[in-house]
Amino acid sequence: AEAEAARAPVRRPPPWKNVQQPKIEFMQMADVASKNIPGDYYGIRFPHDQEQILKMGPAWLTEAFHTSGVLPKDNAVTKIAEAKEFVGGGAGLKCILKVEYKEDRPYLHKNLFVKLPHKPGGNDRFFVSCMWNHDRPETIFNIWLEQTVPYRVPKCYFADICAQTTNFILITEALDWAPKGTRDFKPGDIEPAYDKYMDWELPDGGPMYY
C-alpha cells in the first residue's frame, strides 16, 4: 500500500496566469454570481454551491480530478454518497462530500472538504469576494504552493475561481478533527475547529494559544 501511495499521480498546476478582477458594484453581485463561467486557471465550468455539486455530480468531479491530474484517466468518481453543508468560519460556505471511486486507491480520499463562496445578495459575499478579494489568494496557494511548502497541508484535488463572477471552488481532503470537548491530545492529533470568540472551548481557556 505504501509503494502504491508513493506512485500517486501528481497534480499538475496549469500555466500561471495574471488575472485582474473587474470592478463589481454591490447591486450587480447577485446577477454576476448567478452565471456559471469557466474558471480562470483550469478553464472548465465548476459548481459554486452544494445544489450544483449534486446536480453536476460524479461526472463533474471526475472531469475536475482528471483535469487537475489527481485522478488517473482510467479511474472515476462513481457516486456522491453524502453531502453535508456546515457553518465554520466566516469566509465562505463549506461542505463535506463522501464519494466513491471506480477503483479505490490509497492516495484517494473518500471524505472531501469543499469550500464555496457565500450566497450572493448579502454583505458577506460582497465584502469577501469583491472588497477584500480573499478567495483568489487561497485558490492560488492551493493550486501552485500546496505541494511545495515545507509543512503538511490538506491534499488539494481541485481549485479554481472566476474573476467575472467571483465564484470559486476549493476541494481538498477532509481532515479528521478531534471531537469538540477533547482535552488530551496525542502527537499528530488535530484539535477541534474552535469557533471564533469562544475561548472557553479551548482546553485551558486561551492562555496557551496567546
If you average pLDDT over residues 182-203, what whole number do you get?
Answer: 85
Q: What is the pLDDT of residues 36-66, one digit of tens each?
A: 999 999 999 999 999 999 999 999 999 999 9
* pLDDT the model gives residue 3: 63
Please name the residues in contact with 85: beta carbons below 8 A apart, sequence gap of 6 or more: 50, 93, 94, 95
pLDDT tier at 204, thresholds 50, 70, 90: confident
Please, which pLDDT band fits residue 160 given cuts at 50, 70 and 90? very high
* Cell numbers given for 106: 490509497
Mean pLDDT of the chain: 90
**For residue 1, is pLDDT > 60?**
no
DSSP state of 131: I
| CA distances in angstroms from 20 to 162, 167, 168, 177, listed in the order given | 10, 14, 15, 36
Q: How many helices (H) and strands (E) does the chain have?
A: 5, 5
Per-residue pLDDT at 2? 59
In angstroms, the CA 139 to CA 163 distance is: 12
CB of 146 within 8 A of CB of 153? yes
